[in-house]
Structures are given as C-alpha cells and as structure tokens.
A and B are shown apart, each in its own frame.
Chain A
C-alpha cells in the first residue's frame, strides 16, 4: 500500500547512478562549476561588471582581461560571471514554477476527468503557440523589461508542456495496482492523488524540469538577444551577444564567450537530464 516507500530512496540513488555515467558526471561537474561561479561572482570577479573604461575598449584576451573587454571597455569575464546569475535564476525559477504549476495541473486533470476536459483544452491551445513566441507576446503585454516578467513569461510558455507530461504520467500511474488497492480500501480521491500518485510522478517531473531549465535558459538568452528580456542595467549573456555583434568581425570574443557560456550551461543540463532519464528508464538502459 505504501507505494512511495521505494521512491524515498530514489533521489540519492538516482544521483549516484547519474554520477557513474561519464556524460552524467561531466554534466554535473560543469553545472556545479558554473553555479559556483555565479554564486561567488561578487567575491571572485576581477572587475565591476558595469565599470566602463573607454581606454580599454575591444581589448583581446590577455593576462589583465582573461576574456578581453567589450566596446565600452568592460571586463567580459566579470560580466559573464554576473551574467550566469541571471541565467541560473531564470532557469531554476522557470523549471520550478512550470514544474509545480504544470505538474499539479496535469496530475489533477488526469485524475479528475471533469476538470481535465476543460483544463487540457486550455493546455492544448497554449501549446499551439511556440514557447518563445508566447513568451515574446507576454513580454509585449507586460510593457516593462524585468527579470520577474521574463521568468513569468517563460513559465507560462513552458508550464503547458509540463502539464501534458504530468497528464500522461498520471493516467499511466492510475492504472497501476497500488492505486486500485488504495481505492479498494476506501482512501479519498485527493488522498490517493497526493499520497500515492504524486510521489510516483516526482522523478520523471524532475527529469523533465532539467530539460525545461535548459530550454528556459536558451529562451531567456533569446529574449535578451531580441531586446525584450532583462533591462540593459543587468549583465546577461543574451544581451552581451546582441550588443557585441556589431563588433563581431574585429573582436569576435565579445560574441563567442557569452554565447559559448550559454551553450555550455545548456549542454551541462542536457547531459544531466539525459543521464537521469536513462537511469529512470530501464528500457533505455537496456538499449544503450
């Protein structure tokens, strides 16, 4: 009856299984390094990311500026370090928000078909808009560029995808014997959903959230690149690429370094997500 017993041990063992895979371990190490860089940015960044020094503009990478300087003479290494905080915060918040809201909506919709009949049509309609376009439109409504607006816009864009995943998973879990057993002993529907069904959804939702986090970082970088993301006063990777592309031919590092950081960050999350998904799915393990 206690369907969630085995699940309680899963997060730890999942992390161990992931770390045992070369690609999973690589993803984990890169991710931890980037997170530490972002968290410790105020202590380890060599310069103030906003400090403008016109005499140093467009300097190639050297011993004073490891990643060179931009068109205002600002140190790119420091800006990239601070920029990782924005990407991290966006990715994590969107993954959490869309995971919780989308996951709950999907689970409730699957378990209570009357609610699902209506709510999943709304999910279908929202999924008809490509995520980045929906986020762009939502940014147009909010009128003001801010990190919170970016997070909300991207969460609204990705939550329907999470809801669809949770919906399918819940439908499957509800066919399993332990749910039937819980119903047979007269457990309430809400109790069954929260106590028995939901714990079985957490692991796959965490895996999906890792991919959502990666997509959100790419989405936020794209919004910044298009000029509708966080305000220019906040150093962000996407905006750095957008501002730097005018100087791309004479100072390619302005574009390559922040763009490269987005790619590496997203790659680490995808590596981790892949390893977790494979670890959870024995069928995939067999195929490898």
Chain B
C-alpha cells in the first residue's frame, strides 16, 4: 500500500488555506444543515426500519451511498486546530477511492493474512482483529493478549490500553505516554511470542491518545513494526486535528500502512439515524482522502445507550456499508460496540447480531469486542473475542434476508437492557490465568449461546 507525500502535502496545505469555519458553526450549522439537505434531496428521511434491523434493500443502500459521497464532497473534513476545511473536488475524491487498495497482505511469516474487499453476502472470509482498546492492568496485559492470540480464528491483535506504565499512572500527553508506546510494543511482542504467533499483525499504538504514544512506539527500534498498522483515529466524524495528522506523517515517515477511523453518533451532530448513516459513508471516504487510510472505516454509536447493537444502529451499519461495498472495491472496517460484560449471555447475543450483520453487509474486517462498553478496566476476556471471530467468519456468504430474520429473533433478548446492561465479570473472575481457559460458568454460557445459534441456522462449527 503506497502512501503519497504529495497527497500529504496537499492535505496539510488545505488544512492551512481551506475555507474558514469555526467548530461551533461546523457542529451546529454546517453538518446538520448539509446532512438534512442530503436526506431531503435523496428522499431518505424516515427510511430507517427498526423492525427490520438489517437492510435488504439494495436501492436504499445505493441511495445512501450517493448521499454520503455528495456529503463528503460538499463539506470535506474540518481541521480543529486551524478551523479550516480540507475539501476535495468530486474527481479528487473519486481518484482517492480508485487509488485505495482492494486487497492487502498483513502480518509476517506464518501469520500473514490476506485482507480482501468484499460485497454483501460475499463468501470471502473477513478478518477479525481483537481486542479493541479496553483498558487493562499492566500485570494482566500479557496473559490477556496471549489468551486472545492463542485462538487462530483471530487474525490480528490491537491490544488493550495501558492504565499504568512501569507502575506509574499513565497520563495522556505526558512523557509517560511516550514511554508507554515503546513499553506496550515490547509487551505485545512478548504476548505473541508466548502464543506462538510472533508474526501477527498489530494495529498500533492503542495507548496513544495524543501523538506521543505513536511517536514513542511505532517504527522505533524494538517498537511496533512498520508491517503493523499505524492507528489514526479522528475525534469525531468529519473532523481531524493535528494529533491525527502528526500520526499520518509519522506513519509515512516510517513507511507503515495507515488505519484511519472514527464514529458517527446517532442523535449527535448528524441528527437522526439516517443522518448518521450518511455521515458514516462520508467519514469512511474522507478517512481515505485525508488520512490515506487503507480502507473505508467508520462506526456508529447510539447516544441513548452508548453502544451500537440496538436496532437503529445495526440498521445504520448495514445500510452504510452495503452502500460502500456495493459501489466500490474498497477494503472496509467497522467496530461493534457491545455494552454487556464478559460472562453474560447478553454480550454474546449482541456480538452474534452485530458480527452477522458486518459479515453479511460486506465488511473486510472488524475490530472488537468492546465488552462492557469499554467502561471498566480488565472487563474483557479471550472467549468473547473468539466468539466474535467465529460468528463473523461463519456468517460469510449468509443472505441478508436470513441474517435479518436471525437478528429479529435475537435482539429482543437484550434490547430492553441496553441502557442498564449487566457488567459481567472481569478477566481474572472468568478466566484461569494459569491455563488461560475460561471458568466453567463462562464456558457453559458460551456453549449454550453457540448451540442456540446453531439451532437457529447460523453455520457455526
């Protein structure tokens, strides 16, 4: 995947010379106004169908794609530091999409994996990366990541965020963060070596809330390798900042591939669920144009429960990504945001619905899970990571009509608990740290839900 210094300079120049717009105007006028305009122009207001949470209408997905593409061209991306808009012409955006890869080899040695662009209902296997950056204690970090990496169904590792670095409280933006980048890379290597999978690709550096963790840990001797993905996460959909752009420059300096991403918020700046869906499409495309991300990447959060396994959010994910994957050959990525914790059946039901949807809607890969909403340190275990990967891959080739019916049966099992989900149990409470195996309680829940899914027709082994 080649990255271009010329594209980088164009983006940096536009961040300095583009049209002026205050953050306040962007949030309260530009985004809601333009999104509303696109919804009206394309007849998309009120098209969300919560009773059918996974879209099966190709025409609707295509209309959202067109609206999202137009939104990306019309508004561009705001640079928070300069309060200027980085804009692209229609042709420039099309060129960025054309130049983005349709397949990518990631990892090293025996752990090399091929990521391919997929279409809805595609039989090509997607890739799964676990876990998402939930905070973990320093002393549990290596066994936790080892426990996840030991499952061969998982293709890549992101890791957890560190709470401390060498015993010191890790404050973002301080030299502790710079140190944490390097320390985490070392721990990452150790965990993969213990799991017997040293060549697995990493998405890095997750403990880099500002640019310092990335500078300290990516591409430096003993740090993350340049065959690993350099994470460039935006603070919000359709916004970037110098923190993100510094990370882009650093990845280009090191010659590493870039993984951009962000989330739209249902009820937020883009408004209703249909507005967030358009914003997701635009965000995914602009990640490629602005951050030179290797794929179209965006997720969604429903602010009513801070997750995305409810009906509206699942619908938004299905429509946005069906639109993108039907109309391009882009690699695509999205994140599932569960709210229930480990050792609960709710976490597995949420995961089953979401992973089936992502697979059937044509995603190339996904990172997760966000067990317990990512709220609690150490509330993540290897078993739900394995479960997500299993469902994601086994759903490849499933029809959306079938997936929608399954989702309609499973969502009622948890939707009334989305605002007050069970916290579940921490890694140490539901896993044996010596054997890295789940407790009987957690394993029984896993087997029960898995059997239930098999009985419903999910082709799990």
A binds B: no
